[in-house]
Amino acid sequence: MSTAFPARELRIGTRTSPMALAQTARVTQLLHQLDPRLRTVAVPVRTEADLWHGELSGIGGKGLFVKALDVRLQSGDIDLALHCLKDVPGDVPFRAGLVVAAHLERADVRDVLVVPEHSAVRRLDDLPPGARVGTASVRRRAQLLRIRPDLRIVPVRGAVGTRLDLLDGRPTAPTTHTNTTDTTDTTDFADPAASTEPSSPAHLDALVLASAGLARLGLSHRARQIFEIEEVLPAVGAGVLSLECRRDDSAVAALLEQLNHEPTLTEATAERVMLQGLRGHCNSPIAGYCVTGPGGRLSLRGRVFSPDGAAFAQVHLCSDAPHDPAALGAHAATELLSQGARSLIDTGIPL
């Protein structure tokens, strides 16, 4: 590790949500394990997407979360940006001068069903016909509707705590900030079939959230059903935290490289190349998941859906060249495109 670090403060750029701050605390812990003398400071960054109360597709998608941190990194205001890889667009090149120096070991990639605190519901099958399920993910929407076409999918976004408050019936005003210290506590209901007034919270029967996110917030006990990947295929890059720095900052890059988890990097590379080959973005109903098997052999699943899940393209490939994940991802993209994935992506509509 560079000897410059004991005398240098490492500024970690982070969004301001409880989830982002928990992830930043984890990265800080790992860095201090490498060098207990290292001085770190979290630099909260409020983004345009955090302050927007409507659909993210209307202002450029989840990529705005990434962009705001990257701009600060380019300018030298921060030394390190922490990203959830699933939020990094597949159709936008990295900003000039920046490089991902490490992917942390992957967390649980699965999605989970969460219901009100005192509900007797244990599984998706237990929900009544026409139940209202909250998720802003087009990927989740499509796969849930494949399982239960009768469900009413309600677009809900914002901090996990806010979404749980809405689910449990605790007072939370939609389209407003419920906690002035957390700028991501915004929620938007955009269900045109809802009969409630815009100013009153809509009733929800369930939410679908990421298992990893609940775990990072100490809320794993709220999960009622864990969807296996055969039921709900994860997002590309699910469960992966990526650490980005300036390409010419060799001291930071050398430090972060010590945290890189090579199997996660390999798997994420296959998934991301597939996503890039499909020209997928944050509003595309695309799912992808790669795992490493015996002997380093890679297995990659990919699916592209219509918004209602009725039509889809899918592929499951194993690599004959386990050390070339990019080739596997490119092959998967080609196969999906040959099945009509492009038309599914292009005709997809935001929630």
**Digit-coded pLDDT (tens) for 28-50:** 999 999 999 999 999 999 765 45
Q: Do 117 and 159 share a domain, yes or no? A: yes
Told to judge if 86 belongs to the known catalytic residues of this protein, a careful annotator would answer: yes
- pLDDT above 70 covers a percentage of the chain that reads 82
In this structure, how many other beta carbons lie within 10 angstroms of the beta carbon of residue 165? Answer: 18
- How sure is the predictor about 92, in pLDDT bands with cuts at 50, 70 and 90? confident
Q: Do 125 and 55 share a domain, yes or no? A: no
Is residue 232 included in any domain, yes or no?
no
Told to judge if 152 belongs to the known catalytic residues of this protein, a careful annotator would answer: no
Which ranges of 231-306 would DSSP assign to H, the alpha helix?
A: 250-257, 262-277
Q: Give pLDDT, residue 343.
A: 92
Told to judge if 290 belongs to the known catalytic residues of this protein, a careful annotator would answer: no
Told to judge if 139 belongs to the known catalytic residues of this protein, a careful annotator would answer: yes
Kindly tell me if the per-residue pLDDT of 277 is higher than 60: yes
Q: Do 100 and 245 share a domain, yes or no? A: yes
- What pTM value is reported for the model? 0.85
Q: Do 124 and 92 share a domain, yes or no? A: no
Average pLDDT over residues 258-282: 93
Q: Do 9 and 97 share a domain, yes or no? A: yes
Q: Give pLDDT, residue 51.
A: 52
For the chain, give the mean pLDDT: 85
Kindly list the strands in the beta sheet with 298-305, ordered across the sheet, starting from the edge strand earlier in the chain.
286-292, 298-305, 312-318
- How far apart are the C-alpha atoms of 281 and 88, rounded to whole Å? 9
Produce one character per residue of 214-249: b if its CB has 16 or more CB atoms within 10 Å, e if not: bbbbeeeebbbbebeeeebbbbbbbbbbbbbbbeeb
Instruction: Specify the CATH number for the domain of residue 344.
Output: 3.30.160.40
Average pLDDT over residues 3-13: 72
Q: Do 126 and 216 share a domain, yes or no? A: yes
Q: How many helices (H) and strands (E) does the chain have?
A: 10, 13
How many Cα atoms are found within 13 Å in the side-chain-facing hemisphere of 213? 21
Is residue 186 included in any domain, yes or no?
yes
Q: For 302-351, how does the pLDDT look when each residue is reduced to its tens digit (9 = 90+)?
A: 999 999 999 999 999 998 777 899 999 999 999 999 999 999 998 764 43
Q: Do 51 and 132 share a domain, yes or no? A: no
Inter-axis angle of helices 18-34 and 160-168, nearest 10: 140
Count: domains in the chain: 3
Q: Give pLDDT, residue 346.
A: 87
Q: Give pLDDT, residue 158.
A: 85
**Closest Cα partner for 346 from 316, 302, 315, 313?**
313
Is residue 153 included in any domain, yes or no?
yes
Q: Which of 110, 157, 216, 246 is catalytic?
A: 157
In this structure, how many other beta carbons lie within 10 angstroms of the beta carbon of residue 28? Answer: 18
- How sure is the predictor about 62, in pLDDT bands with cuts at 50, 70 and 90? low
Q: Which of 139, 146, 246, 301 is catalytic?
A: 139
Kindly tell me if the per-residue pLDDT of 259 is higher than 70: yes
Q: Give pLDDT, residue 195.
A: 30
- How far apart are the C-alpha atoms of 305 and 285, rounded to whole Å? 5
- How far apart are the C-alpha atoms of 171 and 165, rounded to whole Å? 7
Is residue 64 included in any domain, yes or no?
yes
Kindly tell me if the per-residue pLDDT of 23 is higher than 90: yes
Is residue 169 included in any domain, yes or no?
yes
Told to judge if 216 belongs to the known catalytic residues of this protein, a careful annotator would answer: no
Q: Give pLDDT, residue 107.
A: 97
- How far apart are the C-alpha atoms of 17 and 82, rounded to whole Å? 13
Q: Do 139 and 282 share a domain, yes or no? A: no
Kindly tell me if the per-residue pLDDT of 6 is higher than 90: no
Q: For 120-160, how does the pLDDT look when each residue is reduced to its tens digit (9 = 90+)?
A: 999 999 999 999 999 999 999 999 999 999 999 999 988 89
Told to judge if 140 belongs to the known catalytic residues of this protein, a careful annotator would answer: yes
Q: Are 17 and 25 in contact (CB under 8 A)?
A: no
Residue 215: domain span: 111-226
Told to judge if 11 belongs to the known catalytic residues of this protein, a careful annotator would answer: no
Q: Do 283 and 325 share a domain, yes or no? A: yes
Q: How does DSSP classify residue 186?
A: -
Q: Give pLDDT, residue 61.
A: 47
Instruction: Specify the CATH number for the domain of residue 218.
Output: 3.40.190.10
- How far apart are the C-alpha atoms of 151 and 127, rounded to whole Å? 9
Is residue 234 included in any domain, yes or no?
no
**Closest Cα partner for 241 from 110, 108, 77?**
108
**Closest Cα partner for 305 from 122, 197, 104, 146?**
146
Is residue 233 included in any domain, yes or no?
no
Is residue 32 included in any domain, yes or no?
yes
Residues 6+ apart with CB under 8 A from 19: 159, 160, 213, 216, 217
Q: Do 245 and 321 share a domain, yes or no? A: no
Q: For 176-227, how does the pLDDT look when each residue is reduced to its tens digit (9 = 90+)?
A: 333 322 222 223 333 333 333 222 346 899 999 999 999 999 999 999 999 9
- How sure is the predictor about 249, in pLDDT bands with cuts at 50, 70 and 90? very high
Q: Which of 106, 132, 140, 222 is catalytic?
A: 140
Point out which residues pair with 113 in neighbouring strands: 208, 225
Q: Which of 282, 290, 301, 303 is catalytic?
A: 282
Instruction: Give long-range contacts, CB 8 A cutoff, 24+ apart: 61-69.
Output: 61/89, 61/281, 61/282, 61/283, 62/87, 62/89, 62/282, 63/87, 63/88, 63/89, 63/92, 63/281, 63/282, 65/15, 67/95, 69/13, 69/14, 69/15, 69/45, 69/244
Q: Which two tokens stand for residue 154?
A: 């309600």
Kindly tell me if the per-residue pLDDT of 3 is higher than 70: no
Q: Which of 106, 146, 163, 303 is catalytic?
A: 163
Q: Do 213 and 300 share a domain, yes or no? A: no
CA distances from 148 to 136, 151, 158, 231 (A): 17, 6, 25, 12
Q: Do 117 and 23 share a domain, yes or no? A: no
